[in-house]
Every structure is written in structure tokens, then in C-alpha cells.
Amino acid sequence: MKKKKLLTLSLAASLALSATAVSANTAPGQNTAEKIHVNKETKTPDFIAGKLTAPSNKPVKEIVLTYLEQKEEDYKIGKNGSSNFKVVSQKKDDLGFTKLKLQQVFKGVPVFGSVINAHVNQEGVLTSVSGNLAPELYDKQSLKKGATVKADAALKNAAADLAQKIGGTPELEHEAAAELVVYVQDGKANYAYSAEFEFLYPEPGNYQYFIDAKTGEVLDSYNQIHAAKPSAGGGTLTGEDSTASGKGVLGDTKTFNTLLNNNGSYLVDRTRGDGIFTYDAKNRTRTPGTLWLDSDNVYNAAYDGAAVDAHAYAGQTYDYFLDVHNRNSYDGNGAQLVSTVHYGRSYNNAFWSGSQMVYGDGDGSQFIPLSGALDVIAHELTHAVTDTTADLVYQNESGAINESMSDIFGTLVEYHFNNNPDWQVGEDIYTPNIAGDALRSMEDPTLSGDPDHYSKRYTGTGDYGGVHINSGISNKAAYLLANGGTHYGVSVNAIGNDKAGDIYYRTLTQYLTPNSNYSHFRAAAVQAATDLYGASSAEVASVKAAFSAVGVN
């Protein structure tokens, strides 16, 4: 693995994963045969589409749960009716579909990552059920008896393991809490305590832990800093909203919103959602640092550049999601966007910490200040969008899809604002003395050693199962979908950035679920395109071709 792969940057076998699509017999009251996509590993459905029920005036929850009860044998979840599920949310989308998000539970305990999304149209017809459920839990001997280890003891064991892993005791951003879950890994199911540890000192991290609820042993852990759960930041200030100008990292002049009072000009934008706040770490590693204050509302000093870009580009990313996808900040509810620049000394990284954005200045050789790239900032904030929608687990294929979604929208934001756009990632701030290179190329992922086809995917344990490496597969598909081309003998007709963005946004927010793999990703994208443009549309044909071109069927 190349050294570049070790820079996560919050950016940074022979056949495609097969799944079976079958048509079931039309049940009474149904208008169209079900199209069932089956997960290769579990041999259970992970996507069902069609007119699955007759039109109805019944509540959406009743429509969905009645259907799922009929499908209990297919899903292999036992005959427990609605007790298999807990409703997480219900919301109508821009196309008039009502999405019901359901969490699988076993004996009242949530099954980690086992979430499904069901869509009911305006006529009360169930049109799709998307997501992976854990099958045959009722047969697992490991689940016959409940937890014997207390939650606080599990937390202590996780904290001790974490301290050993990072070589010190972290200063947590908030107190960790343990939740009892059923954790399924490689076909084994255990009662476990799930806990997250978010910290920025002595190094940045947001570790997800699973502790066996019977033995207290660590079952699994991984750093999910890119997909952490955000919280609000900033403070309450009084003053007058204003507009300022300043020079960014690359010397370009831009305008942005500030707040003026007797102290001077603050990098605070109160015109977008609950606000955009930009802080100065002053080359320390404590966050958020000091709210950026300028004396004259003109930000032209060299030291200002990182803050100017962080502030302005956060605003542009906010505008893209609002104007193009009708999404008010990353959570859809106007959440604050908090950034800290000048983090550490010569720090070659940028990341979403779980509470805010953090940008290093780079060492001047490998990186210059990382906030100087719009696609980097949009990439990171897309991780927050993912966390509040699909919540893709940051390991293996779901983690690779997570990373790719951030690359895709980072690029689309760059094109939307015509900011020297291209299909590279981080090219503006990476290796300033080497022209033309980038962290990753979506047009040709192999330039940085990433696979451009599912048959070439990385199957090791490094990079959390290849979350950055295997993102190249989806990145290549996205490039082909937007631009067209022939890859591995498969021709793809271009549909352009705008349509590709609409399809990927709907895929992410409506159909992907925490444990989505590449095969499920394809089925989800096809359904999203079908919703938007029709089953027989050229857009659906291009989506299918793009995934086939990278070996995902």
C-alpha cells in the first residue's frame, strides 16, 4: 500500500459481488411483481421494488409493517411481527414519497447497522424496501442469554484499550455512553455494548467500540472520525451582519459574511442556518480555539488565508446542498458549521471531528493549508450529510461508499461554483511543488493505486478494509455516469453532473443503509434514477451501465 494511503485526510474477486434479482409471484392486491435483490452472503433480500401493495389510506407504518410481516420467512427474522422493528423516523420527500426508516430489534435490543428504508407513494402503495437485516438471530446460541457485564465496566475496558492504542488518555469532547446492541460480525452474533469516543487530543479520533456484554472483551473497534455524529458549536454574539473581502490560501480574493461589533469583525455568518463560525487554533491542538476576530473587516494578511477559505467554502457547500438539493445544512435542520484553522504545527490533514471541521496548515511540501480546496471542505461536510442520512458504517464496502460519496459531492460542489473544477480530489492543496497530481483521480483511480473495477478491490484489513482504496470503484462509476465513456468494454452514455448529482443524492438520503455493500449500492442507485426519470429512461440505462463498467452487478 502506498504511503499516500496512510494519509486519510478525511479524504486522505474476479467477478463483481453477485446478488440475485428475481421476480416473485404477484400477491393478491399487488399490481406489479416484486423485483427482489438478494444479498449474496445472507441469502436474504436487501432491496425489493415494485408496486408491492395495493393503494391504501392506512397509516404508512401499518402498510409497511404488514408487508414486512408477510416477508418474515424471506428475511429469516422469525414470526414476531412488528416487534422485529422500531420506527426511527417518517418523512415525506420532495417527490411525494414517504420514507419510513426502521431499526431491526431482537428481543427489544437494536441490531447494530440493521436498518431498512421503506417508501410509500402518494396513493399509499409501498414501492420499495431497502436495507440489510440480520437473519436467523433466533437460532444463535450466543443470544439465548442476555448481558452479564455492566455498562460501566464495558466502558472502562474500552477506554483502557483505546488508551493503549493511541499511547495515552484522550481528552473526550463529550462523555462516552454505552448502548446495549446485538453486534453481528462474520455471521457471529453477540450482545455487546456500543460506545463512541470522540477526542482531538493527544490526537484526533472518533472510535467506535463494541464490547462483549458477557465477557467484557473488545469485539471490534475502528476510527470513524469521517462519519462521526456532529453537535452544535459556536456561541452567542451580538452585532451587525456585514460582508467582508479577503485573500484565500491560493491568493484569490473572495467575499464572505461576517459580524461586526465594537470588538471588530468576527468570522461569523448568521445568514445560513444556525450560523457558520470559524476559529483560530493558533497552531495548538485545542479546539475550537479562538473565534476569529479581525480589526478592519479586510482579511488580506497571509495568516488570514486559511480562515478566509474555510469560512467562504463552508458557506458555498451549505449553499450547494440547499439550492440544489433543498437540504438545510448537513442535518437538514440548519445545523451550525464550525471550523478551526491553523490546527497544530505543519499538520498534514483535515477532518470532520464529529463536532466540527478541523484544518491543518500542512508542511509546505506535502500539503499547503488544507482549507484552501473547496472539494476538500465539501468532501468533509458530505461525511456529516452521510452520517445524518445513510449512516454508512466506516468499514469495508460501506466505508468505501461513504468515502466515495464525499469525493463525488466534493467534485460536484467544485463544478457548481466553477472553482477550477476537475475530477481530481485535493489537487489544489496537495504537493505544491508537483504540478498536475492529486490525492485521488476519479477519472483514473489507478493513478494513485486505487482499483477502478470491483475485480481489483482491496480485500485486506488495512485502511479499515479499504475505505479510501476501494472508493475508486464507485468514483470511476460516477465519473462515467456524468461524462460517459467505455470501461472494460462497457459503454456508458453521459447524463451530466446535475442529473448524476440528483441520483447520488437521492441514493444516499433515501435508499442506502448502514451496511450497504456495492451490490446494494447499485440497486439503490437504479431505484433512485427510476424515481426521478422513469424505469425506461436513458438515465436508468446509464446508471446500470456505469456500475456494470466497474464490475458491480
Q: CA of 51: how far to CAs of 61, 73, 120, 121, 489, in Å?
A: 17, 20, 9, 10, 34
Write phi, then psi, for 354 (nearest 5 degrees).
115, -20
Which amino acid is it at 218?
Answer: V
Contacts of 526 (CB under 8 A, 6+ apart): 540, 543, 544
Give the whole-angstrom CA distance, residue 62 versus residue 183: 28
Give the H/E segment covering residue 441: strand 440-441
Residue 144 to residues 190, 214, 215, Cα–Cα distance (Å): 10, 12, 15
Residue 496: CB atoms within 10 A of its CB come to 12
CA distance 539 to 500: 9
The set of cell numbers assigned to 428 is 489544489
Q: Cell digits for 299?
A: 482579511
Per annotation, catalytic residue among 196, 380, 403, 539: 380
Rounded to whole angstroms, the Cα distance separating 296 from 187 reads 62
Beta bridge partners of 129: 48, 118
Q: Which residues pair with 49 in a beta bridge?
A: 35, 128
249 contacts: CB under 8 Å, gap ≥ 6: 305, 306, 308, 309, 368, 369, 371, 372, 429
Q: Cell numbers at residue 551, please?
A: 464490475
Q: Are 487 and 480 spatial neighbours (Cβ–Cβ below 8 Å)?
A: yes
Nearest-CA neighbor of 376 among 451, 442, 428? Answer: 428
Query: What cell numbers appear for 262 in the block?
Result: 465594537
Q: Backbone dihedral region of 243: left (phi > 0), alpha (psi from -120 to 50 degrees) or beta?
A: beta
Single out the residue of 263, 486, 513, 532 nearest to residue 393, CA to CA: 513
C-alpha cell at 297: 473587516
What secondary structure letter does DSSP report for 488?
T
Q: Which of 468, 487, 520, 539 is catalytic?
A: 468
**Would you call 380 a catalytic residue per the annotation?**
yes
SS3 at position 64: helix
Three-class SS of residue 388?
coil
The residues, any chain, with a CB within 8 Å of residue 525's CB and separated by 6 or more, are 503, 504, 507, 511, 543, 547
Q: Mind telling me the catalytic residues?
A: 380, 468
